[in-house]
Amino acid sequence: RINAIHTYTSSLIDRATKGCTASLTFILQQLQHTLTMSNSKKMIEAKIGGKKVMVFAKSYCPFCKKAKKVLEECIKNGELRREDYEAIDIEDDPDMEAIQEELKRMTGVSTVPRVFINGKCIGGGDETVVAYESGKLKQLLAA
């Protein structure tokens, strides 16, 4: 009889513990996600605030290459100083997903590139090329 009670009690404890462990694991995962998002937000804001032009990109992305090419052209033309420009490729960043989530929260779009000039997102690769061709990019860079 004592063995039966012990077995029953152990079974109850095991079930209760599994539920707690799963809940605790979920809570810890959510906390980690929140901390990662917070760190990503701080990093993005610091990068945007630290440069006149900031690009979040991926090295293999054709739209990112378009945006970077146009901005490099602006440097060659003297419209943008190299020290005022930074492009970072996020694909190797362990927080890449959190960075893209935060960019989506900030801009409404999670795809790259996200091009920021004077702290404001002007869009992606196509928008940057159109702004360059229309002369609007030159105006934004002069501001």
Is residue 79 predicted with pLDDT exceeding 70? yes
- pLDDT tens digits for 42-70? 999 999 999 999 999 999 999 999 999 99
The domain limits of the chain are 2-142
- pLDDT tens digits for 6-16? 565 566 566 66
- pLDDT tens digits for 95-134? 899 999 999 999 999 899 999 999 999 999 999 999 999 9
Question: What are the strands of the beta sheet with 85-89, ordered from one edge?
Answer: 85-89, 53-57, 114-117, 120-123
What pTM does this model have? 0.76
As a whole-number percent, the residues of the chain with pLDDT over 70 amount to 73
Strand partners, 120: 117
- What is the predicted pLDDT for the residue at 48? 97
Assigned architecture for domain 2-142: 3-Layer(aba) Sandwich (3.40)
